[in-house]
Amino acid sequence: MNVNALQAYLASFDIAIATPTPQSASLHFGLRIAADVIIGAPVIAVFQGQHEIAREVISPLLGLRAYQARNLGNTANLAREHWDEFMQLAADLYRCYLAANALLIQLEALHISEGHITATHCTLHLDQAAEVGQTPELVEVESADAPNFRAVTRETGIAFLPLKGQIGVLANGAGLAMAAMDMIAHYSGDSVRAANFMDIGNDLRIDKLATALEILREETQIRALLITLFGAAQCVTAAHTLTALDHVVPTVVYLSGSDTEAARAIIERTNSPILLTAGTLREAVRRAIHLVSGAQAEGA
């Protein structure tokens, strides 16, 4: 990882990454842009921890509009004198997102230093399927960001960011992973949270799923696992793979594709008490939350 290279790349878009000084004023929120596969457009949002304060859908045709960034700053209670600076930061971040062919770019621990809005950390996750426009230097830069980001993307095709939560999330798409994380926060009322961001990409090979589960096993705070995969005609393959692997915590699986019913039947025939299925993403999220809430209640 080359953190200096990432900082230099971001600086080319006038985005500053720096450690706060005693004189810096914390803004107590972060800013991110992520691809949303559900609506087919990027979404820009301000957030605190895992809680999303506000979001705006960016039109692929019109791009990010000034009023959208202003709305975000206003909702996050940003002082009016910093609105112009924040709107420019949002515009610069979107330019970087497009130029990098990114799936996710996130600025964390925003603070005001010498009158400018600066981030302490940045997470950058590239779209591996969009090689056009990605320079070798940028590929080397990917994931050279916050110290807790595990840069395994280039070796295994998996992007993983650990968080402080109880439900492990495994998805094949950054937007799908973000949607699952948002739904966990929504349906639990923030009493239960996602333990990670994980995008394994489009390839559902058994070795990749096994590697993903091995990474999640290292996160000892995980009490349940939510697996959500869009497999087109690969759901049966994914189901066979998941039933062949060991599961150490209760796991809820939501598969969506042309062979979904056959895939669910394969998993259900195992009669495993800890490998469960769901017919919708909402049902899967609620079942995972229930598993964690029940375990917490028993331990109380």
pLDDT by residue (tens digit) across 28-48?
Answer: 899 999 887 667 789 999 998
Write the single-letter amino acid at 8: A
**Domains of the chain, start order:** 3-141 (3.30.470.20), 153-295 (3.40.50.261)
Q: Is the pLDDT of residue 227 over 70?
A: yes
**Average pLDDT of the residues in 60-76:** 94
Residue 58 has a pLDDT of 95
Q: Is the pLDDT of residue 296 over 80?
A: no
Q: Is the pLDDT of residue 283 over 60?
A: yes
The DSSP 8-state label assigned to residue 59 in this structure reads: B
pLDDT by residue (tens digit) across 162-184?
Answer: 777 899 999 988 778 888 888 99
Lowest mean pLDDT among 2-16, 91-105, 191-205: 2-16
Mean pLDDT of all residues in the chain? 83
Residue 208 has a pLDDT of 86
Distance CA 262, CA 241 (A): 14
- Determine contact, residues 175/147, Cβ cutoff 8 Å: no
Q: Is the pLDDT of residue 297 over 50?
A: no
- Determine contact, residues 166/193, Cβ cutoff 8 Å: yes
The DSSP 8-state label assigned to residue 39 in this structure reads: T
**Average pLDDT of the residues in 212-223:** 90
Distance CA 82, CA 86 (A): 6
Residue 146 has a pLDDT of 38
Residue 4 has a pLDDT of 67
Distance CA 159, CA 38 (A): 19
